[in-house]
């Protein structure tokens, strides 16, 4: 295969991987077919896979890489490159920024002018979006605890019962 042919096939495969991954991970599908499939799969491995664009792109890119090359070493590189290209295309799209859920601020004034403004962690813990907006796991020396097990302060607890994370938050 000549280099121009390879480039064209790679670009077409990258667009196809992005499109199929986007359809399966982020769209309802024609006649809500994909939504029904997601509901059917539930919390199984495949169901969780369909909720993660980055994970799903690896699985979609694997067979697509065979359309670009059949050599084993090249296939491995093309597979990862196709998944990476799909992830980059997803991040470049305008819907990626719009689809990100945002915390509603009760008052549009800057936080510095509001001395009693709750911290971001308090907003996450107390807000209606509690189940959707968790940042990565907060790590302590001994445990990997999810953020919802932390509060910004724990005045009623004794120091011996409280465990402090590196970022200053305390376990409830």
For 151, the 3-state DSSP assignment is: strand
Any alpha helices (H) in 50-144, and if so which ranges?
A: 53-68, 72-92, 94-99, 120-126
Tell me what pLDDT residue 43 has: 92
Instruction: Kindly list the averaged pLDDT for each block of 10 residues, start to end, along the chain of length 172.
Output: 92 97 94 93 92 95 96 96 97 67 49 57 56 47 46 44 48 46
Pairwise CA distance, residues 95 & 118, whole Å? 29
Pairwise CA distance, residues 123 & 152, whole Å? 10
């Amino acid at each position: 295969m000549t280099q121009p042919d390879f480039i064209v096939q790679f670009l077409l495969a990258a667009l196809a991987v992005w499109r199929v991954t986007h359809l399966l991970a982020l769209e309802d599908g024609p006649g809500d077919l994909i939504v029904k499939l997601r509901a059917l799969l539930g919390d199984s491995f495949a169901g969780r896979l369909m909720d993660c664009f980055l994970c799903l792109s690896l699985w979609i890119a694997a067979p697509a890489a065979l359309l670009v090359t059949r050599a084993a070493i090249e296939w491995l590189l093309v597979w990862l490159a196709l998944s990476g290209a799909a992830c980059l295309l997803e991040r470049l799209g305008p819907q990626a920024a719009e689809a990100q859920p945002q915390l509603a601020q009760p008052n549009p004034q800057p936080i510095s002018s509001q001395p009693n403004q709750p911290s971001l962690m308090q907003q996450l813990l107390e807000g209606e979006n509690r189940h959707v907006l968790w940042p990565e796991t907060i790590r302590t020396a001994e445990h990997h605890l999810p953020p919802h097990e932390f509060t910004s302060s724990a005045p009623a607890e004794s120091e011996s019962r409280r465990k402090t994370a590196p970022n200053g938050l305390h376990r409830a």
